[in-house]
Chains A and B, each alone.
Chain A
Amino acid sequence: MSKKLLTILSAALLLTLLLGACGPQATEAPTQPPAPTAPAATEEPATTEEPIESGFTIGISNPFISSEYRTQMIAELIEVNQEYMAADITTELVIESADTDVAGQIQQLQNLMAQDVDAILVNPGDVSGLNATLQEALDQGIIVISVDQELDVPGVYNVGIDQKAWAMESAEWLAEKLGGEGDIVLIEGFPGHPANVARMEGVSEVLANYPGINVLATDTGRWDEATGQQVMSNFLAAYPNLDGYWTQDGMAIGALQAVMAANPAEWPQGVGEGRCQFLNLWEEALTMNPDFDSIAVANHPGVSPTGLRIAVNMLQGKEVDESTLGGANGLSFVLPLAAVITSENLDEGLAMCEGQPDAYLLDNIMTEEEVQQFFVQ
């Protein structure tokens, strides 16, 4: 028995060492620019005691991976943090990013708190399920910023675009393009997802001003390219005389592919999205139908690295100019849209995609100087 015990213990020890060794090494792994000299964040807590100007640790909590948006977001966060690390202002980011549920994200946040981070950037997977946990973080003196998704927790700042305005931009374009008349269909994202709800509200508001536009049907493409394509194919079959369609995000690529595949005599007018793959597809569509037109409004992941800059400035003790803030609880940094591409500036959009992968979302990260507009000078 004692021999067995010894085996188990030594196995435990071995695994422990292995995992321990794994940590710092793994951060140097692929794709991302490495940070060879930075010590692991866990090794220098206790810096929160006295007011300091540097050595801040920022934690990231992201509950959804395997989307281009999130991948670009994480990569950009790491990149922007390198800047601050080089200036010794921050240490290595503590990133909690995995597909998880509400309980899992609560655990992510708790683990960040347990690692004594000074600020948390959270992309919340639930509109209110994290509230109590975020309050605990605030109570510990941690600066909490919600990126991409607005939260209504006193003390939590939000950084993002106005999702409603984002959707209104392209809905307005579609309504004008159709001259305020015609039959259209809507393909929405996840029903019930806050961003989708805000967007569809925006679309309804715009369409309310155009009584001549008739919404024949609404279906969900679940923010998925393939589903969007399938839904659009069904719509094209059901409504051969469709005048237009409104959709959002990756589903726009699927929808346009469906139109190109069906190639009806009269192409419906459709909205697109600010992704290089779509702009390339747009160029291709023009070769099939020179009259084709679209609009691509970027929902850019750059809001998160901009949020990181805001967090760093707040950590350095700069005072937020609350008069520049907006949103539901007046604690939102509402960022301008990164790019609106129409047929007039399609070339510019394509130029932005030069050298970028297909999945790249047109983006804009505010510079350190640009971020100063939110702070009292």
Chain B
Amino acid sequence: MKNRITWDFLMTRYPVFFPLVLLVLSVAINLYLQPNMFQLSTLNSNMRVFLPLILLTVGQAIVLIAGGIDISVGGIVSVVNTILATRVGLEGSSELMWQYVLISLLVGALAGAINGFFIAYLRLQPIITTYATSFLYAGFALFILPNPGGGIPSAIASVYRTSTPLSLPLAFYVIAILLLVWAYVSSTRYGKYLFAVGGKAEAAYETAVPVTLVQFSAYVISGFMAALAGIAITMLSGSGNADIGNPMTLNSITAVVIGGNAFSGGIGGVAGPILGAITLSVIQNIISFSHINTWWETLVKATIIVAALAAPGVINLFRRRRA
């Protein structure tokens, strides 16, 4: 009896619980297959690859909480990547880099504001709008950098790639900051508004929540986070490619859903999606290290992801049956 209550309690009150279980499970399997996984160099090389997706996922999570979806995030990543790779260049100074990092963040927020304007103020469908703007941004990236190339100075890239303050990967600190900021934001009135708008916009409107503004802001945040992801992936790869962000979009949505946020909005947080993003990446490692036959790799990976997505639903189904 007590067990049952505990499970329900955990699932509803702590949406992070299930993603955490998934992460622990997948890390355990990864560790079994790759015993040196927690060596600092290995951990850092993993985390530096995961971080761009984590950043993107956080923005996506906030949009989903507010009841929307942002399919244009990958395009924004590409725009930022091409701006940095063309404007800073392989021989650029670090001042120039910081200058364009700031510009990139503004560009990201602006791209998000365009999405937000269409969706919040013109009341267009989020999925259609951001699908359309994703081509706008991807096209803009291709316009900036038609052929892959350019880059940022390798010294700056290696700051991102090799920094391990206090023997911990840089990504851990970034994640800690994200969690702290989110803990603060979600405790503010604005944080409550986000959940209210995502949960039931009409009701929120009737209780004097500035629905339009909150929706708008969610896309600005998402654009800003996409810009951060774009900066991170540029520092990871050290070069420019107008197609770099495109494949990340769906992963960010998958990570958010694995992280326990509801597609319908109003439920979830940021911690779960961060765990989801890491889980998604760890799953790829598991596939690598288990030496699954090449031709089966994609199928096996997709199966694991589908299972991870379906697991909470399946568990709940069985629980309802038993009850």
Q: Which of A15, A29, A111 has the most CB of B within 10 A?
A: A111
A13 to B45: give the CA distance in the assembly, Å.
Answer: 26
**Known: A16-B29, A97-B297. Is A127-B239 also a contact (CB below 8 A)?**
yes
Q: What does the 1/0 interface line of A107-134 toward B look like (CB < 8 Å)?
A: 1101100110000000000111111100
Q: Is B242 an interface residue (CB 8 A)?
A: yes
Q: A interface, how many residues as a size bin?
A: 35 or more
Measured between beta carbons, the chain A residues less than 8 angstroms from B165 are none
Residues of chain B in range 275-313 having any CB-CB distance to chain A below 8 Å: 281, 284-298, 301
A20 to B28: give the CA distance in the assembly, Å.
Answer: 12
Contact of A12 among B28, B42, B239 (CB under 8 A): B28
A102 to B287: give the CA distance in the assembly, Å.
Answer: 18
Q: Is A89 an interface residue (CB 8 A)?
A: no
Q: What does the 1/0 interface line of B235-257 toward A look like (CB < 8 Å)?
A: 01111011110111000000000
Number of interchain pairs (Cβ within 8 Å): 150
B293 and A27 within 8 A (CB) = yes
Interface residues of B, count at CB 8 A = 58
A127 to B239: give the CA distance in the assembly, Å.
Answer: 9
**Known: A101-B244, A126-B239. Is A107-B293 also a contact (CB below 8 A)?**
no
Q: What does the 1/0 interface line of A87-103 toward B look like (CB < 8 Å)?
A: 00000101111111111
**Known: A8-B21, A107-B285. Is A26-B293 also a contact (CB below 8 A)?**
yes
A160 to B273: give the CA distance in the assembly, Å.
Answer: 42
Residues of chain B in range 1-34 having any CB-CB distance to chain A below 8 Å: 2-3, 6-7, 21, 24-25, 28-29, 32-34
Q: Is A328 an interface residue (CB 8 A)?
A: no
Q: Is B175 an interface residue (CB 8 A)?
A: no
B29 and A128 within 8 A (CB) = no
Residues of chain B in range 108-139 having any CB-CB distance to chain A below 8 Å: none
B234: nearest residue on chain A (CB-CB)? A129
A23 and B292 within 8 A (CB) = yes
Smallest CB separation, B47 vs chain A (Å): 11
A131 and B238 within 8 A (CB) = yes
Q: Is A334 an interface residue (CB 8 A)?
A: no
Measured between beta carbons, the chain B residues less than 8 angstroms from A95 are 294
Q: Is A65 an interface residue (CB 8 A)?
A: yes
B294 and A74 within 8 A (CB) = yes
A106 and B49 within 8 A (CB) = yes
**Known: A4-B7, A8-B21, A20-B33. Is A101-B247 also a contact (CB below 8 A)?**
yes
Q: Is A191 an interface residue (CB 8 A)?
A: yes
Measured between beta carbons, the chain B residues less than 8 angstroms from A110 are 42, 45-46, 49
B160: nearest residue on chain A (CB-CB)? A132
Q: Is B158 an interface residue (CB 8 A)?
A: yes
Smallest CB separation, A76 vs chain B (Å): 13
Smallest CB separation, B275 vs chain A (Å): 15
A81 to B318: give the CA distance in the assembly, Å.
Answer: 49
Q: Is A192 an interface residue (CB 8 A)?
A: yes
Contact of B149 among A15, A101, A128 (CB under 8 A): A128
B286: nearest residue on chain A (CB-CB)? A19
Measured between beta carbons, the chain A residues less than 8 angstroms from B236 are 102-103, 106
Measured between beta carbons, the chain A residues less than 8 angstroms from B284 are 98, 100, 104, 107
* B-binding residues in A (CB < 8 A): 1, 3-4, 8, 11-12, 15-16, 19-20, 22-24, 26-27, 29-32, 40-42, 65, 74, 92, 94-104, 106-108, 110-111, 114-115, 126-132, 191-192, 194, 197
Q: What are 16 residue pairs bridging A and B, where the CB atoms are less than 8 Å apart in the complex?
A: A11-B25, A15-B25, A19-B290, A26-B291, A26-B293, A30-B295, A41-B291, A94-B291, A97-B297, A102-B244, A103-B236, A103-B248, A106-B237, A127-B148, A128-B148, A129-B237
